[in-house]
Structure 1
Amino acid sequence: MKICNCKTAIVWLLLTCLGPGLMASDRCIAAAEQPASEKAETQAKPIHITSQRLISDQSGNVAEFIGNVQAIQGDTTIQADSLKIFFSKKSDGEGASAAQSLDRLVATGNVEIKFDNRLAVARQAVYITAQRVLTLHGPGARVTSGENTIAGETITFYREDGRFTVEGGTNGRVSAVILPEESGLE
């Protein structure tokens, strides 16, 4: 395991582990609504990650940014106490490692994810790239868009089809504030 200077580590991480795919077309929820041309444009944008410390374990295929973490790509920002990135090596078909791909991101502690006009807040956020699923965990997990809010202990977004589920957890309650534009219950 290595403890690296953040400037060096960011360059290493971006070049060898992540490439243009960290949030790229997997832009926490919003990208599912983008046309293909916008998704490709987003993939080309650089990802900037800053933190107080980076621990890299190439043999374990993991890199962890620790302390006041901020990851930015385009108009998407993730802030957290810690951001752990898990990746896997892809073979070139002949047994040699050709590249590394991102498997999942785990943001922990005071997590805030800003994208489009939305803000997601949780104790922990897990994004699994292959399934394109973002799960927010912890009491008080919520997503706000304008004055609309959903909250629960676990919120799961299925980006492929735009679905989401909210679970109430220990208190068994889910809450939502929805401001309809023209018609309501009255």
Structure 2
Amino acid sequence: MFATLSAPVRATSLLVLVAGFAFAAAPVVAQQTSKMTGMQLSNDEPIQIQSDKLEIRDQERKAEFTGNVKVVQGTTTMQAGRMVVYYKSGEGSVASGNADIEKIDVFDKVYLKSDKQEATGDTGTFNMVNETMQLKGKKVVLSEGENVFVGCQLNVAMRTGEATLDACGGRVMIQLDPKSRKQTN
């Protein structure tokens, strides 16, 4: 079964990564905090969701997309093996496109791409109430061109773009390409 669901504006927070992963150069430490302005909410573009299977459980207030899940909003794409969308009780459902989404969990090799930026991890959670995003894994990788950031947990405040990359007991690894810096005249 192949399900495609296009949702109107109230569900557009489903994919919250709009632009990049722009960390400033910093020493390698166990935790890296930076501003990620591209991780802010985007509520004005339609969303297309594709998966091998869609199961909507309105009584449980959730929808589960399984198998080759692909979510596209504008220039941003998210892929995962499985995605579970939890919505608040009340009127509306995911099928009608007017659900008020509470939380989204993604599993099985999560991949996020927007323009030149990419992120990968094992699992992710988008908390729409607290407006936070968390990507976890043995190795969470953020990249923009030749700039690469590696940790095990990325936390982002989607309203402000404030981000923290943790190493979970080890050290955060950063590889920066000096050619990627903006040239000033």
TM-score of Structure 1 vs Structure 2, range by shorter chain:
0.7 to 0.9
Q: 1:88 is matched with which residue?
A: 88
Q: 1:96 is matched with which residue?
A: none
Q: 2:150 is matched with which residue?
A: 151
1:96-111 alignment runs, 5 A limit: 100-111=99-110
Determine if the alignment matches structure 1 residue 63 to structure 2 residue 52.
no
Unaligned runs of 5+ in 1: 92-98
1:70 touches 1:80 (CA, 8 Å); kept in 2? yes
Q: Deviations over 1:139-165 (max 9, x none)?
A: 111111121121111111122222211
More contact order relative to length (CA 8 Å, sep ≥ 6): 2
Determine if the alignment matches structure 1 residue 177 to structure 2 residue 163.
no
1:6 Cα deviation (Å)?
A: 4.1
Higher helix share: 1
Q: Deviations over 1:109-150 (max 9, x none)?
A: 111011132101000111112322111101111111121121
Q: 1:119 is matched with which residue?
A: 118
Q: Deviations over 1:11-52 (max 9, x none)?
A: 5xx5xxx53244449632539847xxxx8xx63432111111
Counting aligned pairs with the same residue, the percent is 22
Determine if the alignment matches structure 1 residue 54 to structure 2 residue 54.
yes
2:11 touches 2:99 (CA, 8 Å); kept in 1? no
2:12 touches 2:45 (CA, 8 Å); kept in 1? no
Q: 1:127 to 1:161 in 2, by over 3 A?
A: same
Paired residues in the alignment total 159
Q: 1:132 is matched with which residue?
A: 131
Cα distance between partner residues in 2 of 1:55 and 1:25: 17
Q: TM-score, normalised by structure 2?
A: 0.73
Q: 1:25 to 1:86 in 2, by over 3 A?
A: closer
2:19 touches 2:76 (CA, 8 Å); kept in 1? no
Q: 1:133 to 1:116 in 2, by over 3 A?
A: farther
Q: TM-score, normalised by structure 1?
A: 0.73
- Runs of 4+ aligned structure 1 residues displaced above 2 Å come to 18-27, 29-34, 42-46, 159-162, 178-183
